[in-house]
Amino acid sequence: MRVADRDAAARDLIRTRLAQSREELRLLLDPPPQADGSPASVNGRAGFPRSRTMQMLMSGRGLGTLGALAGGLLLARPALALRLLRFVPASSVAKMLMAKALGSLKSKQQNAP
């Protein structure tokens, strides 16, 4: 009976640790809830994109990384890069690039004395 008690205590300890680690992971991975229940505003876009991966890719560093990756692919395998380029919606990319360019011009004008 004593061995069974030790095993039960060990199992309870393991379950407690697992519950704590799950809660820590949940706190790390889930965004904090908003007070009014609306989605968090990201880059002034009212929660779009919601995916953390897309948020990272749409940031300045993410776009630089994607550009470097695309340039490397174009240099290493141009045929594959051009084939993949057909899948990219050109109008959406052009709009995004224009918005980024205008935003950077506006910020430069505001910072200039």
Tokens 């011009």 found at:
105
- Check residue 10 and give its pLDDT: 92
Q: Is the pLDDT score of 31 beyond 70?
A: no
The predicted pLDDT at position 56 comes to 76
Quote the crossing angle between the two packed helices 78-85 and 60-76, to the nearest 10°. 130
Q: What is the mean pLDDT of the chain?
A: 79
Task: Give the Cα separation of 67 and 52 in Å (integer).
Answer: 19
Q: For residue 36, what pLDDT is reported?
A: 55
Rounded Cα–Cα distance for residues 90 and 73 (Å)? 18
Read out DSSP for 27-40? HHHSPPPPSSSPPP
In this predicted structure, the answer to whether residue 89 has a pLDDT above a threshold of 70 is yes
**pTM of structure:** 0.38
Flag whether pLDDT at 87 surpasses 60.
yes
Place of tokens 């205008």: 102
